Amino acid sequence: MRMVAVLMFLALLMTPAVAAPARADDDGRLDWPLRPRPAVVRTFDAPTPNWQRGHRGVDLAVAPGQSVYAAQAGTVVFAGNLAGRPLVSIAHPGGLRTSYEPVAPSVRSGQRVHTGTVIGEAEVGHPGCAAAACLHWGAMWGPASRADYVDPLGLLGTTPVRLLPLR
């Protein structure tokens, strides 16, 4: 059973990005949503079971007003306020969805974006941020109603892929 889950995850990572144009060197992995590469202020902490408290993303140090970039080509599925905070969410080929908050959007729902497209500007206001301002960056597989949250740092093109034995 575990081997099937591992193989399905690897297949999703290797699914080519065909729904939207991407970088010439696109390998299906994510790019950093901030330039230059930011400091990670808080890491991913998935809850078990999925409905309990946890940190379903990473917090990245950011300057207010700093540009935020699409981590991979896809389609903007939400750009606006959610629970009083500005948020942008992008659906990517293969079933991955990334979210960025608090971000004042410069994109609209339904818009197709390329890897590295500016999607908005970072704002102050992420609760629990240990820095002056943080970008909360999340990633999940599947529809939001039953999403499996994953660590976006593990999907970065700069993170080496290591296959470990199943035992």
In this structure, is residue 41 part of a structural domain? Answer: yes
In this structure, is residue 160 part of a structural domain? Answer: no
In this structure, is residue 47 part of a structural domain? Answer: yes
Examine the pLDDT at 37 and tell me if it is beyond 70. Answer: yes
Instruction: Give the confidence band of 126 by pLDDT, cuts at 50, 70, 90.
Output: confident
* pLDDT (tens digit per residue) in 5-30: 333 333 333 333 333 333 434 567 89
Pick from 86, 97, 78, 68: nearest CA to 155: 97
pLDDT value of position 49: 58
Could you give the count of Cα atoms lying within 13 Å of 126 in the half-sphere of its Cβ? 28
Residue 13 tokens read as 């990572």
Q: Long-range contacts of range 86-89, CB-CB < 8 Å, 24 or more positions apart? A: 86/120, 86/123, 88/119, 88/120
In this structure, is residue 166 part of a structural domain? Answer: no
Instruction: Give the confidence band of 77 by pLDDT, cuts at 50, 70, 90.
Output: very high
Q: What is the CATH number of the domain that holds 53?
A: 2.70.70.10
Examine the pLDDT at 104 and tell me if it is beyond 90. Answer: yes
Query: In which domain, by residue range, is 114 found?
Result: 2-21+31-155
DSSP 39: P
In this structure, is residue 133 part of a structural domain? Answer: yes
Close Cβ partners of 97 (under 8 Å, ≥ 6 residues apart): 77, 89, 90, 91, 139, 140, 141, 144, 147
Domain count for the chain: 1
Query: What gap in Å lies between CA 31 and CA 71, rounded to an integer?
Result: 5
In this structure, is residue 134 part of a structural domain? Answer: yes
pLDDT value of position 80: 96
Scan for tokens 């993303």, then name that residue: 57
Q: Give the sign of the dihedral formed by CA 57, CA 63, CA 65, CA 68.
A: negative
Query: What gap in Å lies between CA 14 and CA 33, rounded to an integer?
Result: 20
In this structure, is residue 162 part of a structural domain? Answer: no
CA 133 vs. chain centroid, Å, equals: 18
pLDDT value of position 142: 78
In this structure, is residue 165 part of a structural domain? Answer: no
